[in-house]
Amino acid sequence: MPYTKETILPFIERQQQLYEDSGHSTLLQDGVDFLTGQTILPPVYTDVAIAREMGVFIQLLKLPDQWDDNDRLVLQLLSDPLVWQQCRERFLQHIVPMLDTPGSASAIVLRFSYFTSYLQQRGCSTEDIGSMMIGYSGDGNNFDLSPLKFTPLRKFLQDLIKSAEWNIIDAYVQTWKQKGWNSLFFRLLAKGHPDKEMDYLEPVLMQSGKGFVNVELSRVLLQTNYDKYRALIEKAVDHLATLPDYSAQLNGFYLLARYQPDHYHPLLIKAAYAYLQESDSSLTSQAFRQQQAEMGNPSQLPAPDVMAVTQLLLLDKQPALRYLDEHLSEKRYLHPEVFKLLRQELGASATPLLLKAIENDYDAKHIFPLLTQADTSLYADQLWDFTLHKLKSVRTLVAVILADHPQALEKAGVLLQHKKAEQRLTAVQILCKLNTPAAKDLLQQALHKEINDDARDLMLETLGTSISGADDETTVQQLVAFAKKRGKLTRPLETWLDDSSLPPLFLRNGMQLTQDMLRFLLYRMSRIKEIRSDIEARPLLRLVDRTTSGPFAQHLFNLYTARNGDAKVKYLLALAALTGDQELATLLEQSLSQWINDKRLRMAEHGAGALAIHGSKQALAAVEFLSRKYRVRKSNVGAAALAGLQHAAAELGLTMHELGDRIIPDFGFNGLFLPFQVKDDTYHVFIDQHFKPGYINNKHKRLKSIPAATPAATKDAFKQLGKAVAETVKSQTGRLEHFLVMQRRWVPEQWQQCFLHNPVMFVYANRLLWALYNEQEQLITCFQCRDNGALTDLHGDAVSIPSGASIRILHPLYLDGAQLRQWQQRFTEEGIVSVFPQLERPVASLPPQQAATTLVHDFEDIALESTLLNKHMEQKGWKLSEGSDGKYVYAYHKTDDENQLEVIVEMSSIYKEEGFQYKLGKLYFIDKTKASQRWFRSTDKDAADCLLPLGHVPPVFYSEAITDLTISRTMAEVA
């Protein structure tokens, strides 16, 4: 019987989640039609890409002994020659590991019978099938030579190889000679045909360029039976030495010397020098480490370059030291681990070699930390010579160390007068690291004389300001004069930028910027690394009249887009935003949307940052929307928007939540009302309790509808107002429910400004129950906000707010049963409908006996259809986590950013006849400040320090997590 659409639909939906490309599901349609019986014959493919896509259906296949009509449909689909060619590897990767699943003897026999028969129908020989099973079992990628512990697959393979004719065995050996080392094949061969063992090992050991495999395999063979394998390994070493393969020669003699040191030590010393002298030892070292990573085995032996130096220091120390000194002088390759070895073996005596290495351009970032482990008297004075080093990386690293030198201030002060900019920059780095009043004085004295902008930017970063204590006008005059004296304003900033053709830019006093002032502004803004204002440009930007700067900002924006958003000219976009009016903000918002649609995401990132620094309420609201919309997909844009908001909040001295309150649109209302004229009468529009525009006349009587004589333009404006309010409500409802969960605190003045003076937020104030807390975080009382703005308690008495109090959205967890029923009755009597579940919200309190535990096992019985569970969890604010491969879901998580907490519920994916289901597992809370990785399971070793005892979890966050999943149990029971 073919799959039904209902059973295969969850699978297809899962594929759509894994692939952003919407065309993926279209490519699968022919396969879906065949599997669901819409077409009788399997499709025939000529397009390689489409044939390859059929491999996704392999995930539907069960164990071969459980193959039914549905599985046979999938197998038919794969039988098309082109599909099989493209999907064979995926098929084997899926099925072969499953063959080891425990089962009855009869089931295991059927399993291998069905599997091998299907492969034979695809034209595979007996040897092909055996080698496929060995290769895809995942058991041979190691150096384990211990006797096999039998599993169904290993037992089948042993019987298969043991019973094979000699010609088949020769075919196996020939195949695995070419494939290389595989411990599973070797053990099967040694057990079934020991006479063929050397035929396989010899060519494997004689393969050149297999340094890690050669040394590890040789090590385990000698360890297993030295007398049996010594001659073979010596023969392999002699052969590889003639190629020459210096790494194999070194490793081989090292291993043999363990057993016969007197005989092999002279050969080992000679091999070590030969390896270090090798012209491409860097490539050999890299290949060794790469092979080690691919095998996934931590070697018991060091890499060849480390081995060579170790043995020379041990067996031939003084000549070795002279050789290493020459080696460093010739700038021949040495791996960073070798310098670590020198420090460990030689201690302080390694200092001259380390200094020589830095002098000869070895990677300073690895060597300086080793150098600083020695007594400073051994190297400190010599490091001043490195301030003249040609490499910037060396000068930067040495500056950090020299900042601790006793004479750092004096010597850096002298270096600050050097004729070369590179050395002055190093002096600045030392002084900035010192960051003492005396160091700052030197920086301040040099700041306006320094012509190297990198040095100046570093000075400015340390000093925090360039000229302090002066008003903006005086500061600008001085800064422009200093820049001109340094020769920064003699010509246009860019050859293509004719600053004389720019529209005029005016100051608030009506004065037009001079050419020098304009060039100064462009010059300083060109120094930004992020979409921000430059520290020296800010005084001039504060003086700009943004009411007349629209044409100037528009022109800069056009220059930016004309250069296709080149990151090098992002300063034009930033300056446009910082000088532009509301028209520029609108243009930027529209362009940003287009850049996202056109997948010009780097421009979109810059655009989000520019919109944020524009700073208008409308612009910041747009950025806030982007930060939410692109939190997952196109996350770089969302991250840029969030960073822009964070910068804007920091500039204003606000938290992100406080900034969010400020940018809630008021739609031009004066408080709670917006007046409009109809003929000679004045009316007012307000937002009613359903978030719809309502209208009152000059006698404060509400009208059933807008007056008929209202001009068409006004009617249309109010129609658009309704849509805009609906969009605001969509975002604010979720935001306020989040504030309920995290128990955000408002100081009374902030709460009143946000909720009592904004037409939309006033409705929320009316439809929610509020809690008043004292300075000790104790609940004083609950209150509601009346239509007239009065605050009253349960008895209707006015609520006064004491100093030091805070206001929160009340969570019903903090009311006893009687109080909760009374407030519910009050809201019902007054016809107040909450904007989201509040008083009717389910709650869960932590049982005292569970306060010290970290894991909750109460939901491990819940299994629910994947789409249904996804929808429920997303509505409750949970998000799917991903495995390390970025695809396979293993948990849901929900975050409390305010308290840096996260709740995780583990899960697994199961397949049943009716479709895919998610089965929930353990639930736990983690402290995000202690988490070193993004996701982990409760059983991971990194989890121990991060798991929170349940008693340490905020009660509301605990309650929300538990009740969210309790509801999902009810859904599962209904389903």
**Same domain, yes or no: 126 and 68:** yes
Could you tell me the residue range of the domain that residue 747 belongs to?
727-829
Q: Give the whole-number percent of the chain exceeding pLDDT 90.
A: 63
SS3 905: strand
For the record, the structure tokens of 382 come out as 């010599």
Residue 588's contacts (CB-CB under 8 Å, 6 or more residues apart) are 557, 576, 577, 580, 607, 610, 611, 614, 619
Look at residue 656 and tell me if it is in a domain.
no
Whether 22 has a pLDDT exceeding 60, the answer reads: no
Mean pLDDT of 683-687: 95
CA–CA dist 342, 334 (Å, integer): 11
Which DSSP category does 59 fall into?
G
Say if residue 74 is in the same domain as residue 209.
yes
Mean pLDDT of 837-845: 94
- pLDDT tens, residue by residue, 262-306: 999 999 999 999 999 886 777 777 777 777 777 765 667 788 889
**121 pLDDT higher than 90:** yes
Strands in 746-876 per DSSP E: 770-773, 779-785, 791-792, 806-809, 855-856, 863-865
- pLDDT of 24 reads 45
Rounded average pLDDT over 222-235 = 93
**pLDDT score at 968:** 79
User: Is 929 found in the same domain as 818?
Assistant: no
581 and 563 fall within a common domain: yes
Specify whether 481 is located in the same domain as 453: no
Please identify, among 776, 802, 829, the residue that sits at the C-terminal boundary of a domain.
Answer: 829
Q: Do 749 and 855 belong to one domain?
A: no
Judge if 482 and 456 occupy the same domain.
no
Q: Which residue has the higher pLDDT, 698 or 746?
A: 746
pLDDT in tens, 935-962: 667 766 667 788 999 999 999 999 999 9
Residue 309: its pLDDT value, please? 95
Cis peptide preceding 2, ω within 30 of 0: no
Residue 513 has pLDDT above 90, yes or no: yes
Residue 442 sits in a domain whose CATH number is: 1.25.10
Closest to 757 in 3D by CA, of 670, 695, 676, 694: 670
497 in the same domain as 389: no
- Strand partners for 771: 782, 808
Q: Give the pLDDT of residue 4.
A: 67
Look at residue 516 and tell me if it is in a domain.
yes
SS3 904: strand
pLDDT of the residue at 20:
44
Question: In the prediction, which pLDDT does 15 show?
Answer: 59
Q: Contact, 142 vs 183, CB < 8 A? A: yes
Check residues 136 and 913 and name the one with the higher pLDDT: 136
Q: Can you give the pLDDT at residue 478?
A: 92
Whether the pLDDT of residue 868 is over 90: the answer is no
Mind spelling out the 3-state secondary structure of 170-222?
A: HHHHHHHHHHCCCHHHHHHHHHHCHHHHHHHHHHHHCCCCCHHHHHHHHHHHH
For residues 443-453, give the mean pLDDT: 90
pLDDT of residue 287: 75
Q: Tokens 């995000």 correspond to what residue?
A: 928
Run of H or E including 446: helix 437-447
**Would you say residue 871 has pLDDT above 90?**
no
Amino acid type, 15 = Q
Question: Does residue 717 lie within any of the structural domains?
Answer: no
Give yes or no: residues 455 and 533 share one domain. Answer: no
Identify whether the C-beta of residue 409 lies closer than 8 Å to the C-beta of residue 438. Answer: yes
Per-residue model confidence as pLDDT tens digits over 580-635 = 999 999 999 999 999 998 889 899 999 999 999 998 988 998 888 888 888 767 88
Is residue 243 a part of any domain in this protein? yes
Q: Could you give the CA distance from residue 732 to residue 734 in angstroms, rounded to a whole number?
A: 5
Number of domains in the chain: 5
**Contacting residues for 969 by C-beta, under 8 A, at least 6 apart:** 859, 861, 862
Out of 33-42, 219-228, 780-789, 948-957, pick the least confident.
33-42
Burial of 494-509, coded b for 16+ CB within 10 Å and e otherwise, reads eeebeeeebeebbbee
For 452, the token pair is 């190297």
- Residues 485, 437 within the same domain: no
Q: Across the chain, what does the average pLDDT equal?
A: 89
* Residue that has been written with the tokens 């409908």 in this structure: 833
Categorize the per-residue pLDDT at 885 as very low, low, confident or very high, splitting at 50, 70 and 90.
Answer: very low
Any domain includes 687:
no
Q: For the segment 249-265, what is each residue's pLDDT rounded down to a tens digit?
A: 999 999 999 999 999 99
CB atoms within 10 A of CB 292: 19
How far, CA to CA in Å, does 624 sit from each of 653, 661, 709, 785, 874?
17, 11, 38, 28, 20
Residue type, 916: F
Q: What is the pLDDT of residues 165-198, one digit of tens each?
A: 999 999 999 999 999 999 999 999 999 999 999 9
DSSP symbol at 547: T
Q: Please, which residues bridge with residue 696 across strands?
A: 684, 702
Q: Are residues 133 and 95 in the same domain?
A: yes
Instruction: Read off the pLDDT band of 13 (50, 70, 90).
Output: low
Nearest to residue 515, comparing CAs of 524, 533, 502?
A: 502
Give the pLDDT confidence score for residue 540 in this predicted structure: 96
Question: What is the reported pLDDT for 21?
Answer: 43
- Stronger pLDDT, 314 or 635, i.e. the higher one: 314
**Residue matched to tokens 């349960």:** 794
Is 880 within 8 Å of 892 (Cβ atoms)? yes
| pLDDT reported for residue 888 | 45
* Measured CA distances, 281 to 81, 275, 287, 355, 706 (Å): 46, 7, 10, 22, 85
- Residue 26 pLDDT > 90: no
- Does some domain include residue 336? no
Stretch among 71-75, 436-440, 623-627, 854-858 having the lowest mean pLDDT: 623-627
Would you state the pLDDT for residue 14?
A: 59
pLDDT tens for residues 46-61?
Answer: 999 889 989 989 988 9
Pick from 524-538, 716-730, 803-817, 866-880: least confident: 866-880
The pLDDT score that the predictor gives to residue 261 is 94
Q: Is residue 611 part of a domain?
A: yes
Q: Quick: pLDDT tens for 367-388.
A: 999 998 988 888 888 889 889 9
Does the residue 587 lie in any domain?
A: yes
The predicted pLDDT at position 942 comes to 67
Given 619, 649, 665, which residue is the final one in a domain?
A: 619
CB-based contact 636:629 (threshold 8 Å): no
Distance CA 493, CA 509 (A): 26
Q: Residue 886: which pLDDT band, with cuts at 50, 70 and 90? A: very low
889 shares a domain with 800: no
Q: Summarize the confidence of residues 512-520 as an average pLDDT.
A: 96
In tens, the pLDDT along 688-699 reads 999 999 999 988
3-state secondary structure of 836: coil
Query: Are 621 and 663 a contacting pair, CB within 8 Å?
Result: yes
The per-residue b/e assignment along 743-770, b for 16 or more CB within 10 angstroms, e otherwise, is: bbbbeeebbbebbeebbbbbbbbbbbbb
How many CB atoms neighbour CB 796 within 10 A?
A: 10
